[in-house]
Amino acid sequence: MTLISAFVAATDLPGRSVRAAAGYLCDRLIATQPEPEGGGRWREDGEVVVPARTASFVEGRAAGLEPVTVAYEQQGTGEPLVLLHGVGHRRQAWDAIVPLLAGQRETIAVDLPGFGESPDLDPAVPRDLQTAVAWLGAVLAELGVERPHVVGHSLGGLLALRMGQAGLARSVTALAPAGFWTDAERRYAYAMLAAARHSVRLLPDTAMVRLAHTAVARTALAGTLYGRPDRCPAETLIADLRALRAATAFGATLRAGRAPGLFTGDIPDVPVTIAWGACDRILPPRQAARVQAMIPAARLVQLPDCGHIPMNDAPDLVARVILEATPSASEEQ
């Protein structure tokens, strides 16, 4: 059983609070924790040395809105390709993919407001999708990027599709886009995501670091999100879990996602590719059929052995799907 699934089950026990459930699971995992991989020893401070990352910042000013500032990283050469992450994640979600794209595309990986290094939205800025598309358009204009290819995952996939509808994208590639759920599926996805955040916030950092360095515990920590948690480096998992814990916009983003009709209509004039992990436990792959029903011309790609975050499970495959879905002008000739 994964940590998140166990957390949900533990909170269902009579009289067990969220905090008590997290402590109960923490004690169980640490008590049964195997030795670290490779025969190493734990660092007493529980810290992991991660190379420093330098973000750039841009401020978008859409008509009638307060300015929105986002952190981003721009790499590579070629036609611009914007990368949008999912809820609770950050621009580093694409770290395994960017090196595979950078020789052929100019990638612009963005921290959405309230995630990663981007400050949260001003309280005066609504969190609806129409407003998000407006400030994203203003950010792209400030960067001097006109109608880039847009690739998004989960929440970012939904944003990418809406940008395609608004004429802001040359092509759209959506990995497991959010918003194509039934009410029951949304409640399930929200319960799993909220449980992940609660468990990470209540799990002591040193315990999380120790657990992430063993294969068994890494599966417990990330098995719900990844199809192959064993392929996720411990340092990456630790940094991602810390980002989830620190995501100031997490709750407000989930609340905004309860709105009906997050995506309606078609995208008739923009090439659309929908890719879905066959082992996605957060947004089941059957939801892909609903996307294709709304966007009949969309190309549908299944990602074998991939979970909800396929960028870590199969970076070569995901990069290939993105490159095929985002041809340059010379490649189209």
Is residue 215 a part of any domain in this protein?
Answer: no
Task: Identify whether the C-beta of residue 185 lies closer than 8 Å to the C-beta of residue 284.
Answer: yes
For residue 48, the model assigns a pLDDT of 44
Distances (CA, A) of 284 to 1, 38, 155, 318, 331: 18, 35, 15, 18, 33
pLDDT bin (cut points 50, 70, 90) of residue 51 is low
Is residue 315 a part of any domain in this protein?
Answer: yes
Number of Cβ within a 10 Å radius of residue 304: 12
pLDDT bin (cut points 50, 70, 90) of residue 215 is confident
**Domain that residue 320 falls in:** 68-182+254-327
When the pLDDT of each residue in the chain is averaged and rounded to a whole number, the result is 87
Is residue 165 a part of any domain in this protein?
Answer: yes
For residue 184, the model assigns a pLDDT of 97
- pTM, two decimals, is 0.86
Give the domain CATH number at 155: 3.40.50.1820
For residue 223, the model assigns a pLDDT of 84
* Percent residues over pLDDT 70 in the chain: 83
Q: Assess whether pLDDT exceeds 50 at residue 273.
A: yes
Tens-place pLDDT, residues 228-246: 888 888 998 999 999 999 9
Is residue 63 a part of any domain in this protein?
Answer: no
Domain count, the chain: 1
Phi-psi region of 152 (alpha: psi -120 to 50; beta: other; left: phi over 0): beta
Is residue 191 a part of any domain in this protein?
Answer: no
Is residue 125 a part of any domain in this protein?
Answer: yes
Is residue 48 a part of any domain in this protein?
Answer: no
Centroid of chain to Cα 26: 25
Q: Which residues contact 208 (CB under 8 A, 6 or more apart)?
A: 200, 221, 238, 241
| 15-29, 247-261, 318-332: least confident range | 15-29
Distances (CA, A) of 196 to 2, 25, 87: 10, 12, 12
Nearest to 105 by CA among 331, 311, 270, 333: 331
- Alpha-carbon span 233 to 29, nearest angstrom: 19
Tens-place pLDDT, residues 152-169: 999 999 999 999 999 999
Is residue 309 a part of any domain in this protein?
Answer: yes
| 150-154, 195-199, 263-267, 276-280: least confident range | 195-199
Nearest to 157 by CA among 7, 276, 39, 268: 276
For residue 169, the model assigns a pLDDT of 98
